[in-house]
Structure 1
Amino acid sequence: MRFDIITVLPGLLESPFAHSILLRAQKKGIAEIQVHNLRDYATNKQKSVDDYPYGGGSGMIMTVEPFANCINHLKTQREYDEVIFMTPDGETLNQHIANQLSIKENVMVLCGHYKGIDQRIRDNFVTREISVGDYVLSGGELPAAVLVDAVVRLIPGVLSDETSALSDSFQDGLLDAPLYTRPAEWNGQAVPPILLSGNAGEIEKWRHEQALERTKQRRPDLLS
């Protein structure tokens, strides 16, 4: 799977993709992540990518030409299953969306900055708009990193234990059950005996009950 990320701040994305699972996925050749500097596609001598909004108002708007030039250039090299714009007014990222995207082949991600981007980019190029929550960040770079991480870990071969992602919170509509590992007793607190019983059926039943109870307490909206 390939991600092409367009941003005015490529350095902000160097670290998230250079460690842990995302790095291993790239080394294995399972995922490819390319970051493109939007200023390289600016049409003026100053390499500026923003301008004042028509109609007045505060803030600066990212202009049409740099995005259009970069998108069109990338599209000459491959077809894209999705062109995603990270924006607070998009659909909220969840596990279902991550699952959908994990079976795609080529995905382009646009990172806004300043006040936002010219609506004509959204109208002409964007196929999906995604938010990471009901709040505003300085730009779309961190949300893009979140999106890529959520999707890449689902691709077969990325995780050492491929069943691990299938048992994560939200995969079955529930939060995950409490988790324990060694030691079996710590500061007078013992691991629930059922987890030490070796009875796979009873352990699975216990985990489901715990997941259901935790979801009722913390995210009852998921049960609806």
Structure 2
Amino acid sequence: MSDDDLAGDAGAATPRPAGFAATVLTLYPEMFPGPLGTSLSGRALGDGRWSLETVQIRDFGLGRHRAVDDTPAGGGAGMVMRPDVVAAAIDAAAPGDDPRPKLFMSPRGRPLSQARVRELAAGPGAVILCGRFEGVDERVIEARGLEEVSIGDYILSGGELGAMVLLDAVVRLLPGVMGNAQSGVSESFEGGLLEHPQYTRPPVFEGRAIPEVLTSGDHGAIARWRRARAERLTAERRPDLLAPGGKQ
């Protein structure tokens, strides 16, 4: 095989199981499941409520050394992941009839929102590309219709941690994952507001008492207090959420 030949039979995808199925394309599959194998997501994974497959992008690399990157066109520092290599990995993991959205974790992507998390949790799963180096050739992003997703305005070494964040947010919303389905209803972003403060025993901690309304037994007053505190916190810390068209 010449250095310009793609690995033709590498990484053949296994049949996708029913339910929410996540496929992560990465140069570091050993990072998974990582934290996704513990707590709620780990139990749900063990119970078969969702599945996780990793695809080693280097299996589709070029030549003896399975090269996956090359120098940037126009010059510049670093390396860029080749479109032919990335496309071959995507096509093997998600053939043309695969209905799952194809996501690319990228700092220039649209910020991940709770609304998008809910949409993903209601779907069949996701194919997630984790980039490395200086990024991925723009042509494969366009050609494979990748949705660029960001988890914040900062730079990580690669997309793997972002993929874990996204999957953790999605998996906890899958049916049966949270012991109490109501647990997520009043959390931050679910109603377009940050979550109200939470309290538990002891009644007094270092001179600070639980707000009296929360021990009153008046559920209407409690609901109003929580709403008012949520609105105040949101106005102080995330006024962008209160603006017209604010994130949810």
Q: TM bucket by the smaller chain?
A: over 0.9
1:40 aligns with 2:59: yes
- Where in structure 2 are the equivalents of 1:5-20 lying within 5 Å? 5-20=24-39
Over 3 Å counting, the alpha-carbon distance change for 1:64 and 1:127 in structure 2 is closer
The match for 1:222 is 241
Give the match for residue 11 of structure 2: none
Question: TM-score, with normalisation over the residues of structure 2?
Answer: 0.86
2:116 paired with 1:97: yes
- Give the match for residue 88 of structure 1: 107
Tell me, in whole angstroms, the C-alpha distance in 2 between the residues paired with 1:44 and 1:194: 69
**48, 62, 74: which one aligns with 2:81:** 62
Q: Tell whether the 8 Å contact from 1:79 to 1:106 is kept in structure 2 after alignment.
A: no
What secondary structure, in the 3-state scheme, does the structure 2 residue paired with 1:143 have? helix
Aligned length: 224
Residues 173 and 222, structure 1, Cα contact 8 Å, conserved in 2: yes
The 2-side partners of 1:78 and 1:188 are apart by 62
Q: CA deviation at 1:78?
A: 6.1
TM-score by length of 1: 0.95
1:198 counterpart residue number: 217
RMSD: 1.5
Secondary structure (helix, strand or coil) at the match of 1:117 reads coil
Structure 2 regions of 5+ residues with no counterpart?
A: 1-19, 244-248
Distance, in Å, in 1 between the alignment partners of 2:208 and 2:177 is 35
How many Å apart are 1:13 and its aligned residue?
2.9
The correspondence of residues 108-147 of structure 1 with structure 2, limited to 5 A, is: 108-147=127-166
Q: Is the 8 A contact 2:94 2:127 kept in 1?
A: no
Instruction: Return structure 1 stretches of 4+ with deviation > 4 angstroms.
Output: none
| Structure 1 unmatched runs, 5+ | none
Q: What is the distance in 1 between the residues matched to 2:118 and 2:33?
A: 25
Deviation at 1:81, TM superposition (A): 2.4
Task: Give the % identical residues.
Answer: 39
Within-5 A mapping of 1:156-167: 156-167=175-186
